[in-house]
Structure 1
């Protein structure tokens, strides 16, 4: 029997709704919030207000584009966390009201698990390649840098994480120091294609095990620019492409070194990446090249599934629906979820 799931994602500044039938994506609608650009970052209060404005038209559009009626929805999956509490509250509250009106169950979704399970979405015109269990997933975003051992749809373990800043945060903050527009990651990626990645050297943190650290890199980058600009105030403008290429190369090398170590330690050759930073062309090319070198089966997400989207929430909800893992009506959003094996 077919299972149709409506997914709702509102963890940060994108309001998204998607409809999945089994594993096939029928619609995926995203409303982005341009208001934050002029502030150089997401303003939580503005984000939650925009979600309130966007959520009804976004969900209505997703249902219509899927070619279904609301009565065909079997369950509603929503992002519980992590994320901005005000933004999450909008999505969770709407999911509750809609589930009550349709008399269908709800599934709470960990946003980070959603990124990982975006690899199991199929499109109407084709099946996408799916990793086989167990696999390793390098999950990299603005707030998280983790290596996750995925054993099954219901079992995964974080085996490496950042002890301070995430890779995406390093991209954005270093971009801000250079005067690049927000969000800085995509701008660095674009400029890096024109630069020399080995021209400048920045600190690569040494952390035991499989954990990451990017705060030292940010500090190294800041002090390097400060010292160079004492002699040449136009240093950043004159070397922007090389700075971006060198910074990006340093971050990618740091990410890959631990991923290679994890693959050896766990003897796994099924390797995936996910999260917002997985859209970075340098990282995608580096993971693919490392995979060819080491005999990995590598899985790079479709670009439309790298940013926050409800398709990944819906597919994760589909697997939870099959297991009968339903959320109670008194469930509340949480801004932080530290462990995949726990809900809070």
Structure 2
């Protein structure tokens, strides 16, 4: 049973997790989101400085929670991309130091593979063949998966422009709602009518995604109705347009590729309406739906440790200690060498 320490610093959250045999033993998370809120988005240098301050305390807390010590660690995994360059460098530098000091292998992990692996910490090993819908602030992808540790990842569709989470942030700004936009729009939508405004659904019949047109449609609606704008109705109608497209394409891909398990992961997977509609449509289609608990949907170190555990168990060769970050790394495999 390998014990893996995982470090995640791709954006504004410092995450550390300790995983063994698919079980989360201890974790810690520090966020610098409040420091970015007044800018309406993440400022890379602020994020990097926050990671520097939070990393050692997070590692200490994860060890304290787990009851383990560095002597128990068999491998270190770290997000090597994609993400903000300076933020990634902070985490990778720390991971290299720990791996060298503890004389254990280092695994450079793709951030999005971490989101997929997060589900294993709640629902157990992934089926050998499954579909994954990744929805986050920077990514929206529909993936056909085999063995996450060993096999190439097949992209059926990706966003052509804005990611779903990015669209939530931009629409929140249009509606005068606070950053981050996902929780703000979701909260406002609770009292709104999702059928009030017929916002467009882009690229029907395709596995690809596009949310820039939807964002523009919301902007035009807001411009036309500044005096009578009902924020809750706009938020609910926008949210419904996003989750309708996401779930329809994901279920269609499962049917077309004879896949019986759908994973929905990433920060936007914490959205209540997305989870609700996905459950309804998967139940009707006879598809098993797996969605991690909300705290495992957002960025965290446990998901990176989970990938490291899979790589270690599979006997994959470790990353070199001169591992470089790749801020725009394509998702081809779980490991970044």
TM-score class normalised by the smaller sequence: over 0.9
Higher mean Cα deviation, 206-215 or 104-113? 206-215
Give 1:340 deviation, angstroms. Answer: 1.8
Q: Are 2:79 and 1:79 equivalent residues in the alignment?
A: yes
Contact 1:164–1:214 (CA<8 Å) still a contact in 2?
A: yes
The structural deviation recorded for 1:326 is 0.7
* CA displacement, residues 77-107 of structure 1 (integer Å, 9 cap, x when unaligned): 0000100000000000011111111111101
**Is 1:143 the counterpart of 2:134 in the alignment?**
no
Partner Cα separation in structure 1 for residue 289 and residue 29 of structure 2: 27
CA RMSD of aligned residues (A): 1.4
Pairing 1:332–2:324 present: yes
Deviations 1:188-220 (A, max 9, x none): 111212111000111222266311111111111
Determine which of 157, 164, 178 is the counterpart of 1:167: 164
Change (3 A) 1:294 1:208: closer
Query: How has the CA–CA distance of structure 1 residues 224 and 291 changed in structure 2, closer, same or farther, with 3 Å as cutoff?
Result: same
Mapped to 1, the partners of 2:239 and 2:316 lie a distance apart of 43
Partner of 1:32: 31
Length, aligned pairs only: 332
Q: Which runs of 4+ in 1 moved over 6 A?
A: none
Superposed, which structure 2 residues align to 1:192-231 within 5 Å? 192-206=189-203, 209-229=206-226
The 3-state SS of whatever aligns with 1:121 is helix
Structure 1: which 5+ residue stretches go unaligned? Answer: 123-127
Structure 1 position 257, deviation (Å): 2.1
Q: What is the aligned partner in structure 2 of residue 125 from structure 1?
A: none
User: Which residue pairs with 2:301 in the alignment?
Assistant: 310
C-alpha distance after superposition, 1:253-308 (max 9, x if no partner): 11122112211210112111000000000000000000111111111111110100
| 1:176 matched residue in structure 2 | 173
Separation in structure 2 between the aligned mates of residue 301 and residue 103 of structure 1, nearest angstrom: 32
Secondary structure, in 3 states, of the residue corresponding to 2:119?
A: helix
The TM-score, its normalising length taken from structure 1, stands at 0.93
User: Which residue of the partner structure matches residue 7 of structure 2?
Assistant: 8
CA contact (8 A) 1:113 1:340 kept: no
Alignment of 1:191-340 (within 5 A): 191-206=188-203, 209-229=206-226, 232=227, 235-236=228-229, 239-322=230-313, 323-340=315-332
For residue 324 of structure 1, report the CA deviation from its aligned partner: 2.9
